[in-house]
Structure 1
């Protein structure tokens, strides 16, 4: 149960991270948001990033093998990176609608899957 919970929490965390880091680039289309200066945008992003950490920290604590979870630190990091790219890609293509998914993106993701395999492989 700790493995799936870790993955769920990391996914939610990454949704907040994506909107904190990149959402402001799209939300400028909103009237109230476009009037914010850089400091205002930073504060809104920090507010979103707070929720990123609300989910990220428990995910790592629950998932870490020394806390009874199934994952090593390397595994947690690789999982987090893959989730980050999946969430970012889905948001970019379907929410922000700024880019199209192309073959080189898929090739890069395939290499990430290979990285996951190598990190999780018991040598």
Structure 2
């Protein structure tokens, strides 16, 4: 199991959940009630599932594709460690993954 830590925009811990290898971070975030919209439902056609990955964990992830980088250019509050949650697949070699939900994120479907 992988411990996924969701942090609020101010950096404080909001919730820690356990997830299985092979799960997509977007699905884990939805199940954890995080304010990530994912308007395109994970087909990488928007940037509404933007998260900021902890620096240590960011280095462990595969590089973002050119398409993902293009969408991150449109994301509000993007940083060097920004990624789209729909493009992060949890793997067995991850013990933990920490992400921060950017300020202004809102899941319009669930309030």
Q: Is TM-score (shorter-chain normalized) higher than 0.5? A: no
By relative contact order (CA 8 Å, sep 6+), the higher-ranking structure is 2
The structure whose residues are more often strand, as a share, is: 2
Shorter-chain TM-score range: under 0.3
Q: Which has the larger radius of gyration?
A: 1
State the TM-score, normalized to the length of structure 2: 0.26
State the TM-score, normalized to the length of structure 1: 0.25
